[in-house]
Amino acid sequence: MALLPPLKRPTLAHYPGDRYLEPLFRRVHGRVSPLAEPPADSGLRPVMGEPGLPVVGKTFLFMRHGPQLSIEHYEKFGPVSWTNFLGMRACAVVGAEAAQAVLVNKDKAFSQSGWQWFIGPFFKRGLMLLDGEEHLYHRRIMQEAFTRPRLEAYARQFGAVIEREVPQWPADEPVQVYPMVKDLSLGIATEIFMGAEQDEESARIAEAFEDCVRAGLAYVRFPVPGLRWDRGLRSRKVLEEYFRSRIPAKRASDDEDLFAALCKVETDDGHAFSDEDVVNHMIFLMMAAHDTSTITATAVCWFLAKHPEWQERCREESLVLADAGPIDLAGTEKLQSLDLCVMEALRLVTPVPGMARRAVRDTEILGHFVPEGTMITVSAWASHLLPMIWTAADQFDPSRYEEPRREDKQHRLAHMAFGGGAHKCIGMSFGRAEVKALVHTILLHHRLELPHPGYEVAWDMTSLPTPEDGLPLVLRPLRKAPR
């Protein structure tokens, strides 16, 4: 059961003395200068920006203020700017138009090696880290693991896990929703991704997997025994051995899990994954799916607790499906109001706040000169908060996606929580269905209430957004639970 510890301080966003240091950090911008001088006669403008503090740059401010800081830079320098962050000079891209230039990547000037720095050693050769023809080749094979019939089979399986677990969640007292959802999502990863029982062995694998995720965010980024990076490298080996040793049995099985699918999928022209590919893709898929779905479901729970009128509207639609057994894929698609709420939660708390790229040659973004080697982050979260697309951008207002408003239709990348271009999330339908199945089941069993009137959640933005206090909500059992 999830108890209620105090805020997890200190973090890189909250540290002793932060109240006094923060105003100082806010005042030190450093000298405004160009990222690089554009070539003469190119007609390009320089990317302007400022370094922040010596050595650490704006790292701590970003960890504390997340998208708000990107918006400040946007207001000061426009959609393309630079600053120093995590020990490097990075170019930040904000807004749908600039994001499109990078994500659609018409001239193939931007590579996925931007992600390499963050997660490369632990998630090597995952789909998101591949480029060009090679990426296309792997994506076409992987697409076969996400066809409609396969999604239906996954949804039947996670529907059953959710239906088994959610009714057992503690009720009538504040419980931390985030760790409960994270546990459940890990259970789903074990049963539906790996096709394994939830036992000691799978707990060991889940731990190894978490080590890899944590290592990607390590501050000391080389192996020192006992520290995160080293643990991540060892854990990667554990995961490789685990999956590699099970491939022959999976290839021969009739299992319907994602691991079995990756072992067996083939394109029409006969291309399939090698054993090595299956191992690399499995490890990456677990990472890509787990935290993103957990954060989204947690954020939806928060917004529904804060906006009971939307909670009621979603529950009414859920009640229509209450007697049909564990929800399936078609069922999740009927939950229209919940879909609006999921979209809005993804906009306001974007699980992948930024997408990393690197310029592989001198290029330009919206007429700004970007030299070869520049690290680029497409700031999805900040772009979701710009007032030129979103009315009352900081407000939870799911109706903005309904006709005739359809604010999201103003630009094809207005809403970019799942990315865009060739690397757009391959698990989008899976992720949305999983989140909706989970929240639907919660709504059938419980009323989500704030722990006290006026409670507001604070999001820790040191890495992906998570609630600082785990999001304590009260799950009030509904008088008449379904079935």
Q: Which residues bind ligand HEM (CB under 6 A)?
A: 127-128, 139, 285, 288-289, 292-293, 296, 346, 351-352, 355, 417-419, 423, 425-427, 430-431, 435
Minimum CB separation from ligand HEM for residue 53, in Å?
28
Minimum CB separation from ligand HEM for residue 102, in Å?
9
Report the residue number, 116 or 198, with the smaller CB distance to ligand HEM: 116
Minimum CB separation from ligand HEM for residue 200, in Å?
25
Report the residue number, 337 or 377, with the smaller CB distance to ligand HEM: 377
Report the residue number, 109 or 285, with the smaller CB distance to ligand HEM: 285
Report the residue number, 296 or 462, with the smaller CB distance to ligand HEM: 296
Report the residue number, 257 or 449, with the smaller CB distance to ligand HEM: 257
Token look-up 């554990």 returns 238
Minimum CB separation from ligand HEM for residue 428, in Å?
6
Report the residue number, 190 or 296, with the smaller CB distance to ligand HEM: 296
Report the residue number, 247 or 285, with the smaller CB distance to ligand HEM: 285
Minimum CB separation from ligand HEM for residue 457, in Å?
18
Report the residue number, 351 or 470, with the smaller CB distance to ligand HEM: 351
Minimum CB separation from ligand HEM for residue 285, in Å?
5
Minimum CB separation from ligand HEM for residue 171, in Å?
26
Minimum CB separation from ligand HEM for residue 177, in Å?
16
